[in-house]
Amino acid sequence: MTTTGEARARAERYEPRAIEPKWQARWAELRLHDTDLWDTSRERFYLLTMYPYPSGALHIGHWYIVTPTDAIARYKRMHGLNVFLPIGFDAFGLPAENAAIKNRINPRDWTEKNMENMRRQFRSMGATFAWENSLATCDPEYYRWNQWMFTKFMESGLAYRSVSPVDWCPNDGTLAREQVEGVERRCWRCGAKVEKRELPQWYLRITNYADELLNFEGIDWPEPIRIMQTNWIGRSSGAEVVFQTAPSDHHAGGEELRVFTTRPDTLFGATFMVLAPEHPLVASLTSPDRRAEVEAYVEAARAKTEIDRLSAEREKTGVYTGGDAINPVNGARIPIYVADYVLMGYGTGAIMAVPAHDERDFAFARRFGLPVVNVVMPRGADADAELEQAFTEHTVDEVMVNSGRFTGRPAADAWHEIVAWLRERGLGETAVTYRLRDWLISRQRYWGTPIPVIHCEACGPVPVPEDDLPVLLPDAVDYQGSGDNPLNRDEAFLRVDCPRCGQPARRETDTMDTFIDSSWYWFRYLSPHNSEGPVDPTLAEMWTPVNQYTGGAEHAVMHLLYSRFFTKAMRDLGLINQSEPFRRLFNQGQILGADGERMSKSRGNVVDPDDLVARHGADTVRLFLMFMGPWDQGGPWSPTGIGGVAKFLGRVWAIATDPRGREPSDPNSGQLPAGETEADARNRMRAAAHRTLRDVTVDYEGFRWNTMVAKLMELSNVLWRYRGTSVAGLPEWDEAVRLLLLMLAPAAPHITEELWSRRLEAGGEAWESIHVQRWPSVDESAVAEATREIPIQVNGRLRDKVTVDVGISQIELEQIVLARDKVVAAIGEAQVARVIHAGGKLVNIVVKG
RNA sequence: GGCGAAGUGGCGGAACGGCAGACGCGGCGGUCUCAAACACCGCUGGGGGCAACCUCGUGUGGGUUCGAAUCCCACCUUCGCUACCA
């Protein structure tokens, strides 16, 4: 018998550091992953993963997204598809600028350096990106097309400038609405409390596409994302109703006051009205004796941050303006209040308040002692009962009360009848309102795409002519140690003549939200250096929509919604002719820090993949991330268990390189399992390999990596048991090893390539990468089984098992089953009522008594 | 408050109408070693039994079914998103 030391000296061990860089270099040299986009001979597959922000280094979360995406690419290539898997950098944005201010360096240098490091890291994981098609959004070659499209949008009216209250972060300037987070109303980037400011800003009319964005036909996206987008767009249908202001000492009256309501059936119950503090009619409605109070309230509301406005247990506040309105259905004179629970940005910024049937109005009425009039009640209820809370049910069996001519009508019908009545008199109409607002894209920051506009005193804002694009972002900037946009001080940048009238004018200094960049980048990957236009129409037609997109769900109502909008807007510019960007979307889960919190430098819980790779090798890290759990789940990072994956690869290595090796410390090593013949073993290996292939293929298709890896582990365990025995090295063994390597190749590309090349060498064959091999096909005859073990239940409880021929008839099976000792014992004195044969998989005997 | 997802061994998780706990970690016992690490072999949901086996078990309570972790109803808990949207 050999000693362990001798055995080890003989068998070469798996050493990832020795093989991974070698193959990465070889793949790059052979340009194995650059895609020939013009190849029409094969089916195309555009696989896209969300491009990263060049923060400096990849963290384990990037690996968690990219590793399986890369495995999909490799798997699809093995099916003969022409796969395009590009990567680039979301290279504009605040961290670069903040780093620049702090360290007094140029954001461009900082960004370039980070991208270089991250490219190295991507290569170290063996990712098969098409680097030839890479892009960085801070490159003028890229952002000039942001500008070009912006000017087109200006021409078509899709981009516009407007002065309105915007969310303002003291550090980061203006924010889009979805960049303000949580109850606390904090900035998504820096966490500062967000205020409201009144500023002239640029917007894109995403609301024009609200209805189209609600339609998800033809795209296969996760239900939760579709729901989130649907809720975010927030379509609600109701009616717009015109009230008139009532004349009084200080106000002439007769002015239209429009409100939006989803409950026109409750119109008779409107006992007061409420205007948002910003509403234009507030000033003229306010009576002299109330002016001081109203102005103070409006001023306070403006100064308040949203947090304050929402805090205090949502206690309702407000003041009476001294003005009144006339309810169009019954002529009632009702008071008009100002209150900040009504928002200027939604509907018309004014509401009719129906305290009996709206919780907020009810609370307000209670607080201010305003009348509550019931107008919709359950059939048979007391019409004038005093309500404890607002009655908001609106099902089928409510009837109208206190509603003039409509009293007694079913509430469901009255909804339409009242709208019809209003329509006839020109006092109202059905209307649809959206929660979605136009997209605020101005940012008072330097490191972004300059908005290509020139402000001329005579001509107003004028788009920069196409021939003058791009408006280059000046590289030499002086921050003077402040967060101010340095473009505001850059005279060379600012001074320009008006392209329309030639008079001296001034450039716009705001830059674009970086979500503009990411709203069309996948088109640009197809022709990143194209100087004719943003997209190459032929390539776009060939390759888009993207077949599969992978990335985090946190972008549900930001990037993923903007991208859909942009695709439609680009379609309407005639650039492309498709309406959706991503045919299929998969949202992987998020890897959290070991503490269960989101990974961040400030928390100090970031996991560095370089360390892990240095210790275990890229293949082990890749496989471990895939093995952790379902891909859409994510979870807290824990490295315990990575040793199990390393052990698995070590065994694969030993199986492939040393089939005759034995385990010195195992006395049974080299022996077939007790009672098993060589023929049994050969069948078993073959069956195991082909069953694994059948099942693993399904897992690959469904991105179920954890079970995929588990099944490959099972197959390796079968082979491990036979290693060193008389069947090791026989054709069945050899076939099983071959299949194991092929199935593992997309997930663990380096070790499989190494072992594959050794096989070819040993067999005297010329080298050909494992990654260009065809995915094997299942031999059904190997999978088929002659006998089957049938579990036997009595009244649903497992009592016995029996192995029978697969083709056995139910009658025969029943005879065998009922004769089994354990079954007889379990039945006892009882009577057999029924015998259930569950598809030949199980027998259940139902007994009574 | 609203919308959504999820609750299974000590842990990550399999199974998604038909043998609960695949696969792996950890733990326990053993082989090898001067020793440690590595590697290897065996056991490992709880309770009972020398054993074959019995019994209880998938957040809680009901229901449907021959049979429920899986389907239905109610509740509890956790995590995401949202937040006075008229």
pLDDT digits (tens, 9 = 90+) for A249-262: 888 888 999 999 99
CA distances (Å), A34 to each of A39, A426, A484, in order?
Answer: 12, 65, 42
What sign results for the dihedral spanned by CA atoms A654, A660, A666, A672?
positive
Question: Is residue A91 scored above 80 in pLDDT?
Answer: yes
Provide the pLDDT for residue A553: 87
Question: Is residue A271 scored above 70 in pLDDT?
Answer: yes
Give the position of tokens 């890291």. A121
Question: Is residue A418 scored above 50 in pLDDT?
Answer: yes
Q: Is the CB of A502 under 7 A from strand B?
A: no
pLDDT (average), residues A732-743: 97
More confident residue, A184 or A640: A640
Per-residue pLDDT reduced to its tens digit, A441-455 = 998 889 999 999 999
Distance of CA A698 to the CA centre of its chain: 24
Q: Is the CB of A219 under 7 A from strand B?
A: no
pLDDT (average), residues A117-133: 94
Give the position of tokens 């696989």. A47
CA distances (Å), A72 to each of A36, A88, A548, A789, in order?
Answer: 18, 18, 10, 36
pLDDT (average), residues A109-114: 94
The nucleotide minimizing the C1' distance to residue A261's CA is B86
The A 692-711 residues near strand B by Cβ under 7 Å are 704, 706-707, 709-710
- The model's pTM is 0.92
Per-residue pLDDT reduced to its tens digit, A497-543 = 999 999 999 999 999 999 999 999 999 999 999 999 999 999 999 99
Question: Is residue A750 scored above 80 in pLDDT?
Answer: yes
Provide the pLDDT for residue A8: 42
Of the listed ranges A257-261, A308-312, A407-411, the one predicted with least confidence: A308-312
Per-residue pLDDT reduced to its tens digit, A613-669 = 999 999 999 999 999 999 999 888 988 889 999 999 999 999 999 999 888 777 777
pLDDT (average), residues A456-461: 94
| Gap from A825 CA to B52 C1', Å | 14
Half-sphere exposure of A236 (CA within 13 A, CB side): 14
More confident residue, A268 or A189: A268
The β-bridge relationship of strands A546-552 and A44-49 is parallel
| Gap from A799 CA to B46 C1', Å | 20
Which strand B bases fall within 7 angstroms of a protein CB?
2-5, 11-15, 18-20, 22-26, 30-33, 39-41, 54-55, 66-68, 80-86
| Gap from A62 CA to B69 C1', Å | 33
Which residue, A842, A767, A761, A830, is CA-closest to A797? A842
pLDDT band at residue A301 under the 50/70/90 scheme? confident
Provide the pLDDT for residue A416: 93
Rounded CA-CA distance A564/A268 in Å is 42
Is omega for the bond preceding A450 within 30 degrees of 0, making it cis?
no
Provide the pLDDT for residue A305: 53
Of the listed ranges A16-30, A365-379, A389-403, the one predicted with least confidence: A389-403
Which residue, A742, A738, A713, A731, is CA-closest to A650? A713
Provide the pLDDT for residue A481: 57
Per-residue pLDDT reduced to its tens digit, A779-804 = 999 998 888 889 999 988 899 888 88
Both tokens of A457, joined, read 């005193």
Question: Is residue A671 scored above 70 in pLDDT?
Answer: yes
Chain mean pLDDT for chain A = 90
Question: Is residue A828 scored above 90 in pLDDT?
Answer: no
| Gap from A186 CA to B82 C1', Å | 14
Provide the pLDDT for residue A741: 98
Q: Is the CB of A3 under 7 A from strand B?
A: yes
| Gap from A223 CA to B5 C1', Å | 11
Question: Is residue A27 scored above 70 in pLDDT?
Answer: yes
Provide the pLDDT for residue A483: 61
Give the position of tokens 């029924």. A834
pLDDT (average), residues A285-310: 80
Say if CB A804 and CB A811 are below 8 A apart.
no
Q: Is the CB of A430 under 7 A from strand B?
A: no
Question: Is residue A2 scored above 60 in pLDDT?
Answer: no
Question: Is residue A673 scored above 70 in pLDDT?
Answer: yes
Of the listed ranges A83-92, A228-237, A599-608, A722-731, the one predicted with least confidence: A599-608
Provide the pLDDT for residue A314: 63
Which element (helix H / strand E) includes A522?
helix A521-524
The A 813-842 residues near strand B by Cβ under 7 Å are 822, 826, 834, 836, 838-839, 841-842
Phi and psi based region of residue A472 (left: phi greater than 0; alpha: psi -120 to 50; beta: remaining)? beta
Is omega for the bond preceding A470 within 30 degrees of 0, making it cis?
yes
Helices (H), A157-239: 210-213, 223-233
The A 147-206 residues near strand B by Cβ under 7 Å are 177-178, 181-183
More confident residue, A552 or A306: A552
The nucleotide minimizing the C1' distance to residue A632's CA is B5
Q: Is the CB of A763 under 7 A from strand B?
A: no
Q: Is the CB of A62 under 7 A from strand B?
A: no
Provide the pLDDT for residue A310: 52
ipTM computed for the complex: 0.95
Provide the pLDDT for residue A545: 96
pLDDT band at residue A308 under the 50/70/90 scheme? low
The nucleotide minimizing the C1' distance to residue A788's CA is B19
| Gap from A810 CA to B80 C1', Å | 50
Question: Is residue A365 scored above 90 in pLDDT?
Answer: yes
pLDDT (average), residues A352-361: 93
Helices (H), A592-704: 609-616, 618-627, 642-657, 678-701
Provide the pLDDT for residue A178: 66
Question: Is residue A482 scored above 90 in pLDDT?
Answer: no
